[in-house]
Amino acid sequence: MNTPPTTAIRLSLRELAQLFNSMDPSPFVERDLDADAEEFITSWAREVPPGRELELVISLAEQAEDTGLEQAVRRYFSTRAAIKRLEFGQLMRRGRLSLGVGSLFLVLCLLLGEFVAKSSPGAVSDILREGLTIAGWVAMWRPLEIYLYDWWPLFEERRRLDRLARIRVRIVGPDDGQLPIFSAAIFSTGSTTASVAA
């Protein structure tokens, strides 16, 4: 079985604590990632083609021990992926409910329109029938929007987070140049810098 190719995302930090939210009092392996670091990692993950695995390479100014770092990063993205799965399920349930209500309302509007047209033929009844038909189809707008457009961004985000939940993490020194350069995009926020390689 062939091993899938790996894309490495490299972060340069002064200290490992910069990777995590400094306001989170949770134990190390349960901390949330820093918002800027998370945005950088996820934004690069969006650019990586499907079928490639990810590796987070953290370059530190000083050597530090890997005290469950990979577990902490994977746990964070696994939790985010679970949240997205719940959101996706809720959206599908809302879509089914909207589809049922919209379909029932559409049928009622069509039947009422036919009843009006037959009970009092004329221009007014024709206008009422057309208005009811339009109202019925407008009620179908929301379920159609969910099933045509709203589901796939959540689905893609969930897949991306599932891939990040498998990310490999390693720590290197600041002068480690073993990563093959794929692009030289630089990320900077405060004292944190990063680049990506594949």
Which pLDDT belongs to residue 190? 38
Joined together, the tokens standing for residue 92 give 């599908």
Pairing of strands 53-60, 192-197: unpaired
pLDDT band at 1 (very low <50, low <70, confident <90, very high): low
3-state helix, strand, coil in the chain (%, to 5): 55, 15, 25
According to DSSP, residue 23 is labeled T
pLDDT band at 188 (very low <50, low <70, confident <90, very high): very low
Q: Residue 109 to residues 102, 104, 130, 134, 140: CA-CA distances in angstroms?
A: 10, 9, 10, 9, 12
Of 169 and 184, more confident? 169
pLDDT band at 179 (very low <50, low <70, confident <90, very high): very low
pLDDT band at 17 (very low <50, low <70, confident <90, very high): confident
Q: What are the boundaries of each domain within the chain?
A: 6-82+166-197, 85-156
Mean pLDDT is highest, among 11-15, 139-143, 172-176, for: 139-143
- Determine the average pLDDT of the residues in 152-177: 86
- Say if residue 135 is exposed, middle or buried (CB neighbours under 10 Å; 0-12, 13-18, 19+): middle
Q: Examine the pLDDT at 195 and tell me if it is beyond 80.
A: no
> Per-residue pLDDT tens for 98-134?
999 999 999 999 999 888 888 887 788 888 889 999 9
Q: In whole angstroms, what is the distance from residue 109 CA to residue 132 CA?
A: 5
Yes or no: say if 136 and 110 are a contact pair by the CB < 8 Å rule: yes
Model pTM score: 0.74
